[in-house]
Amino acid sequence: MSRGFVKEDDQEETPIIPPRAALPSTTINYVTPNGIQQLKAEKEALEQERSSLKTTDEQQRRRDLAVIDGKMGLLLERMASARIINPKEQPKNEIRFGAHVKLKMNGILQQFQIVGVDEADVTKQKIAFVAPIAMAITGKKVGDTVDFKLGAEVRKIEILEINYN
């Protein structure tokens, strides 16, 4: 049937599902034990949101369900591909996934933990293992100095401390 014979009210727009944090296609989806717990909590929250959806407008309900189901699909894909790495099993003397790192960059003290892409949150001092700075310091040891290229600028990074608590 031609779209010309359909009422405008019947034309539903496909809802936009927000994408998850970027993970390069060939990269393994590493997560910490805490990260997998966060994903499970997110799944429970989506299930709860779906079951408690209260709307009388059927069209709005379909849109809301489509968004929840879309988010759930992306989440389940991410959970299925997750490979849990326990930071406490990492080599203690070098920077690997899960490490809490203290460093000096251009004389400024910084600290953060290297985590999975879904767990990364700069406000909580957690950066993704695929972030350029994380990739630059992975494999380094206390006392090592790294030249970190940031556009045309090169910054010196000195590794001060590594721990896996």
Q: Structural domains in the chain?
A: 22-84 (1.10.287), 90-163 (3.10.50.30)
What's the pLDDT band for 14 if we cut at 50, 70, 90?
A: confident
Do strands 29-31 and 82-84 pair parallel, antiparallel, or not at all (unpaired)? parallel
Residue 4 pLDDT greater than 70, yes or no: no
Please tell me the predicted confidence (pLDDT) of residue 28.
94
Q: What is the Cα–Cα distance from 148 to 146, expressed in whole angstroms?
A: 6
Instruction: Tell me 92's DSSP state.
Output: T
Q: What is the Cα–Cα distance from 87 to 95, expressed in whole angstroms?
A: 10
Cα distances (angstroms) measured from residue 142 to each of 79, 109, 165 = 33, 14, 16
Does this model's pTM top 0.95? My answer is no
Instruction: Tell me 121's DSSP state.
Output: B
Which range has the worst mean pLDDT, 15-19, 43-47, 92-96, 143-147?
A: 15-19
Taking alpha carbons only, the member of 92, 129, 127, 89 closest to residue 111 is 127
List, for residues 93-144, the tens digit of each pLDDT value.
999 999 999 999 988 999 999 999 999 999 999 999 999 999 999 999 999 9
